[in-house]
């Protein structure tokens, strides 16, 4: 059992309680034991973190991380990915089903959960396949996957291609009280695409990924969510059309949530002029007008959450020619700083709003006991220096993947400590 831990002199940030003030917090027995305890109430033997000048926030929660194990350990492992998450301030991550074998059986769910326990990094929650074999043809045995511990269902980063399958899954998941997550895209329209379909792709002579491929998929998804009253999360989204559709259905009271990636909130397709594969991400970096619309949508909560978009691929795979290299990015360790640079430094969000989009709301969407500093809740805490500037050096990543569009770039916001269940698992 870990010693009780007192974090003091920091600014406590908790959107779930509208908390934003200097104070101290006591973690004991794996839970939040007290906020602003008196000296007389402190246990005799405890550790102390001085968080002066820092924010003390609920641990970040990520709605979609590719950990690639089993099957693609050259890209990432549960151990490396969960420790990269800690370095990025994440205490809970949802592991995608893009493994080999895929996560469509009780044994596959249990394998990832056991690996996560051994890794002793961030908490890893398993996302089960929506379809058997991620083939999009037949619904997976969702009930058995839920019993095994799957917290959500998705074929992401592959889109759900069958309208009928998605409708049935949304209906079925109402009984299981689990969300369905879809990465919206019409595969036939996106086939062979390398980057955003626009003026830059035309000049560069690269096949584009049209915005309509995402827009039509989002329109299909939200209509089925409205028809079934199912728990649907779409994301990540990247287009003005997707935002417009989400804004319309939400105004009608349809319960659907959405997320975007920090790199889509900061960078545009102009970066692809370098022909470097580190800018080849999915969904692709769009034109500046799409970027501005996404940022505003995060501000007005049309987009509920920010997810890292972590899609690790090995260095060897990313060394191919641009049209042959896979979509991929290592983003767990840069997501918070990227979002802070794109949104907080520009005045679009303040820090309590950013923590809401990266911790509180994702936890609510996934149905996790996380994203809060409430008394008696799990002691998952992140200490952040909001003003620390730092240069991204991929060679220092804990992730196996070092491909990032932010290499050499100056970002603001640095994670100093990450605590999971009262256990200090990362310190910068």
Query: Is CATH 3.20.20.140 correct for 59-372?
Result: yes
pLDDT at 283 over 80: yes
* End-to-end alpha carbon distance in the chain: 23
Instruction: Tell me what the mean pLDDT of segment 34-38 comes to.
Output: 96
What's the confidence (pLDDT) of residue 67?
Answer: 97
Band (pLDDT 50/70/90 cuts) for residue 161 is confident
Q: What is the pLDDT of residue 311?
A: 97
Give residue 291's pLDDT: 98
pLDDT tens-digit series, residues 228-248? 999 999 999 999 999 999 999
Q: What is the mean pLDDT of the chain?
A: 96
pLDDT of residue 231: 96
**pLDDT tens, 138-156?**
999 999 999 999 999 999 9
What whole-number distance in Å separates Cα of residue 180 and Cα of residue 75?
26
Element (H, E) at 22: strand 19-28
Q: What is the DSSP string of 133-154?
A: GG-SSSB--HHHHHHHT--EE-
SS (H, E, C) 231-261: CEEECCCCCHHHHHHHHHHHHCCCCEEEEEC
pLDDT band at 320 (very low <50, low <70, confident <90, very high): confident
Residue range 59-76: average pLDDT?
Answer: 97
Q: Which helix (H) or strand (E) holds 263?
A: helix 262-266
What stretch of H or E contains 365?
Answer: helix 361-366
pLDDT of residue 139: 95
Q: If pLDDT is split at 50, 70 and 90, which confidence band does 2 have?
A: confident
* Residue 321, pLDDT above cutoff 90: no
**Class of the CATH domain delimited by 5-55+379-427:** mainly beta
Question: What percent of the chain has pLDDT above 70?
Answer: 100
- pLDDT confidence of residue 58: 98
Domain boundaries, the chain: 5-55+379-427, 59-372
Band (pLDDT 50/70/90 cuts) for residue 183 is very high
């Amino acid at each position: 059992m870990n010693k009780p831990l007192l974090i003091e002199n920091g600014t406590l940030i908790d959107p779930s309680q509208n908390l934003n003030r200097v104070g101290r917090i006591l973690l004991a027995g794996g839970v939040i034991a007290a906020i602003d305890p008196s000296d007389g109430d402190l246990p005799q033997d405890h550790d102390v973190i001085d968080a002066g000048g820092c924010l003390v926030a609920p641990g970040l929660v990520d709605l979609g991380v590719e950990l690639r194990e089993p099957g693609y350990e050259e890209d990432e492992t549960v151990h490396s990915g969960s420790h990269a998450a800690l370095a990025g301030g994440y205490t809970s991550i949802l592991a995608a089903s893009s493994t080999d074998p895929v996560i469509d059986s009780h044994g596959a769910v249990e394998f990832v959960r056991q690996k996560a326990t051994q890794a002793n990094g961030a908490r890893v929650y398993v996302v089960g396949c929506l379809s058997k074999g991620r083939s999009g043809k037949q619904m997976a045995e969702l009930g058995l996957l839920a019993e095994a511990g799957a917290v959500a269902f998705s074929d992401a980063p592959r889109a759900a291609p069958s309208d009928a399958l998605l409708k049935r899954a949304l209906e079925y998941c109402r009984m299981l009280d689990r969300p369905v997550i879809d990465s919206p895209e019409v595969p036939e329209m996106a086939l062979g695409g390398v980057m955003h379909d626009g003026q830059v792709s035309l000049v560069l002579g690269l096949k584009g990924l049209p915005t309509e491929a995402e827009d039509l998929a989002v329109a299909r998804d939200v209509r089925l969510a409205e028809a079934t009253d199912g728990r649907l999360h779409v994301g990540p989204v990247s287009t003005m059309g997707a935002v417009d559709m989400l804004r319309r259905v939400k105004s009608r009271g349809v319960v659907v949530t959405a997320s975007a990636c920090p790199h889509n909130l900061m960078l545009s397709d102009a970066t692809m002029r370098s022909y470097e594969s580190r800018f080849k991400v999915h969904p692709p970096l769009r034109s500046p007008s799409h970027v501005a619309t996404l940022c505003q949508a995060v501000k007005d909560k049309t987009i509920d959450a920010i997810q890292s978009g972590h899609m690790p691929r090995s260095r060897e795979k990313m060394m191919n020619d641009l049209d042959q290299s896979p979509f991929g990015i290592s983003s767990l360790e840069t997501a918070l700083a990227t979002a802070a640079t794109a949104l907080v430094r520009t005045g679009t969000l303040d820090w309590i709003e950013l923590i809401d989009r990266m911790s509180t709301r994702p936890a609510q969407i996934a149905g996790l006991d996380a994203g809060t500093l409430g008394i008696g809740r799990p002691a998952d805490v992140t200490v952040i220096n909001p003003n620390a500037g730092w240069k991204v050096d991929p060679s220092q990543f804990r992730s196996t993947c070092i491909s990032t569009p932010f290499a050499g770039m100056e970002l603001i916001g640095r994670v100093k400590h990450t605590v999971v269940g009262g256990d200090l698992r990362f310190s910068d």
